[in-house]
Chain A
Amino acid sequence: MPQAEHPNAVAPVFAALGDQNRLSLLSQLSHGRARSIIELTRGSGLTRQGVKKHLVILEQAGVVFSVRVGRESRFALRRDGLTGAQIYLERASKQWDDSTRRLRTLIED
């Protein structure tokens, strides 16, 4: 589902993040510069095809973009694509903080 059609959709982002291989690819891309599939394949335990497949999913979720450099594609993190999902998690997380504070009051008093 292309993100452009659903600018508020966080579900595809969570779906894209719900995979250890993709989280690990994102983590590598978080350190700045755009990387090629060959670079990302190194040490990943995945085949080049596998890395490419995961990158396509991340790109469709809007959290990664690709740029053409010469004959190869390089991939980089798209931070704004993560913001919606991040805000969501932050809010849900804060709600759990509030709930556990009430739980603590209930059982420790």
Chain B
Amino acid sequence: MGDRIIKQVYLRAPLSRVWRALTDQYEFGEWFRVKLDGPFRQGTVSTGTMTYPGYEHCPWLATVERIEPEQFLSLRWHDFDEASGMPIGDQATTLVEFRLEAVADGTNLTITESGFEALPDHRRIEVLRGNTEGWNIQAQNITNHMNASG
């Protein structure tokens, strides 16, 4: 239980390969499903268009907060709630951090997303995140999370 998402994945590839997939605008775009207008540069705003099927009309906007080559990348990612009628630049952000660590025969990638308290409500899920399939929530999960965090 908590206020953030932490994902840890082990990837069977050298750190430099993973770093390229995170920071090359085309490679990032391929797995994140966004067409970026330009490369990530620290302190600049990244613009683009989502390519997720069914959401191709949604803009992408993020501020590239910090780049530490082959170690760390953080983005402040803007919510896009169409129904609000607000320009994407005025919409709330969450913070996404990518951390890399070289390990035997591969790389550990840790993704953290935080700052959900800034979001106006859960509509964002329906717009950009309602497109995931196969997940199922059970009330019991809450208990499990709570107990696991004890």
Residues of A that sit less than 8 Å from B by CB: 6, 8-12, 14-15, 17-18, 23, 26-28, 30-31, 77, 79, 82-100, 102-108
A86-B12 Cα distance, complex, nearest whole Å: 31
**Interface residues on chain B, size class:** 35 or more
Known: A103-B31, A107-B11. A83 touches B113 (CB 8 A): no
Establish whether residues A17 and B121, one from each chain, have CB atoms under 8 Å apart when the complex forms.
Answer: no
Which residues of B are at the interface with A, using a C-beta cutoff of 8 A?
1-3, 5, 7, 9, 11-13, 17-18, 21, 27, 30-33, 109, 111, 113, 116-122, 125, 129-132, 134-135, 137, 139, 141-143, 145-147, 149-150
Are A103 and B146 interface neighbours, CB within 8 A? no
Query: Which chain B residues lie closer than 8 Å to A26 at the CB level?
Result: 1, 146
Residue numbers in B under 8 Å from A96 (CB-CB): 5, 7, 111, 113
Q: Which of B9, B12, B32, B132 has the most CB of A within 10 A?
A: B132
Contact A83 B120 (CB under 8 A): no
- Which of B31, B116, B122, B137 is close to A99, meaning CB atoms less than 8 Å apart? B31
CA distance A85 to B141 in the complex (A): 12
Alpha-carbon distance A27/B2, docked complex (angstroms) = 10
Q: Is the CB of B31 within 8 A of A91?
A: no
CB distance B7 to A10 under 8 Å? no
**Distance between Cα atoms of A77 and B5 in the complex (Å):** 22
Question: Does B135 lie within 8 Å of A90, measured CB to CB?
Answer: yes
Known contacts A86-B141, A90-B141, A92-B125: A11-B116 contact under CB 8 Å? yes
Whole-angstrom distance between the alpha carbons of A85 and B145 in the complex?
Answer: 12
Q: Do A30 and B117 touch (CB < 8 A)?
A: no
Most buried by B among A15, A28, A96, A102: A96
Report whether B7 and A106 are in contact in the complex, using a CB–CB cutoff of 8 Å.
Answer: no
Shortest Cβ distance from residue A43 to the other chain B in the assembled complex, whole angstroms:
13
